[in-house]
């Protein structure tokens, strides 16, 4: 290995990735496994996680766990299982997310509560449970996946509940970093722009909205999922050892306009 690969080597470490059954989450699990980590891939769709774990690429490094991050008991049980089996949590990637109706007129209280439970309460509880072990160990990295909607409006798409939840994730990231920095635990937010994922299928299936994304992005295209690999590995590894409380935006220039 050279100096750079030493910094991003996760051999012997344990990572947890939520929302790992599709899209960014499944890719994140693969990237961390490729870097040498034992990865607990968590989501509600266990069949998809098992298929991910069976992939020759991951060489048995991914362990599937059924988990609904909207359920506080599931959040606690996930971290407890990881600690029981490996004795450590080195990296937590809070990636699971959900969206609601785009128009506030169509968004109900139930919609808001569901989005907040998945996008905010779940990451808070997982960070709380994992952070306790990380603080005791004196090290650890938490990566909270937010959104450009935490920083700017993307009306007419997005949704008030979704934007509010992701804005809160950025604020939570900053506060956790402030509280846990003295224990050697780093907390940062990864903020993707428009990427072709299952959640955004409808956006890119519509020719008008797809052109809108291209036109409004400096690089004139949406991102490919692999273009987040470097940012995730940077935040999750020792390559970012002096970085905490920060928001890393990977959006093709969308928010810089």
Residue 189 · residue 248 · CB < 8 Å: yes
Percent of the residues in the chain that have a pLDDT greater than 70, as a whole number: 98
Is position 207 within any domain?
no
Is position 206 within any domain?
Answer: no
According to the model, what pLDDT value does residue 57 have? 79
> What's the CATH code of the domain at 108?
3.40.50.720
Residue 8: pLDDT over 90: yes
- Mean pLDDT within 225-232: 97
The pLDDT tens digits of the residues spanning 133-187 come to: 999 999 999 999 999 999 999 888 878 999 999 999 999 999 999 999 999 999 9
pLDDT tens digits for 14-48? 999 999 999 999 999 999 999 999 999 999 999 99
Q: What is the pLDDT of residue 1?
A: 54
> Looking at residues 78-85, what average pLDDT do you find?
98
Enzyme catalytic residues = 162
In a domain, 213, yes or no: no
Residue 117 lies in a domain: yes
254 located within any domain: no
Q: How many domains does the chain have?
A: 1
Evaluate whether residue 215 is within a structural domain: no
pTM of the model: 0.94
* Domain contains 210: no
Of 46-55, 191-200, 211-220, the least confident: 191-200
CA angle 108, 206, 200 (to 5 degrees): 55
Distances (CA, A) of 204 to 54, 101, 229: 30, 17, 22
Containing domain of residue 140, as a range? Answer: 3-196+225-249
Residues 10 and 88: beta-carbon distance below 8 Å: no
257 domain-assigned: no
């Amino acid at each position: 290995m050279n100096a750079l690969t030493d910094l991003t080597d996760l051999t012997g470490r344990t990572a947890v990735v939520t929302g790992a059954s599709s899209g960014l989450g499944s890719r994140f699990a693969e990237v961390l496994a490729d870097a040498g980590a034992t990865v607990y891939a968590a989501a509600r769709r266990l069949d998809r996680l098992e298929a991910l774990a069976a992939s020759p690429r991951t060489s048995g490094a991914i362990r599937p766990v059924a988990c609904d991050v909207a359920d506080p008991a599931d959040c606690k049980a996930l971290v407890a299982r990881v600690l029981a089996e490996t004795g450590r949590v080195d990296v937590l990637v809070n990636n699971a997310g959900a969206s609601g109706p785009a128009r506030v007129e169509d968004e109900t209280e139930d919609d808001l509560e569901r989005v907040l439970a998945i996008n905010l309460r779940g990451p808070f509880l997982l960070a709380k449970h994992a952070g306790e072990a990380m603080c005791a160990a004196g090290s650890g990295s938490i990566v909270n996946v937010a959104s450009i909607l935490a920083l700017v409006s993307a009306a007419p798409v997005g949704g008030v509940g979704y934007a509010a939840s992701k804005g809160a994730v950025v604020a939570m990231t900053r506060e956790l970093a402030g509280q846990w920095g003295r224990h050697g635990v780093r907390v940062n937010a990864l903020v993707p722009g428009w990427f072709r994922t299952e959640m955004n299928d409808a956006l890119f299936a519509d020719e008008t909205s797809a052109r809108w994304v291209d036109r409004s992005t400096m690089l004139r295209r949406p991102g490919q999922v692999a273009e987040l690999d470097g940012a995730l590995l940077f935040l999750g590894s020792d390559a970012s050892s002096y970085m905490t409380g920060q928001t890393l935006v990977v959006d093709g220039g969308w928010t810089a306009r």
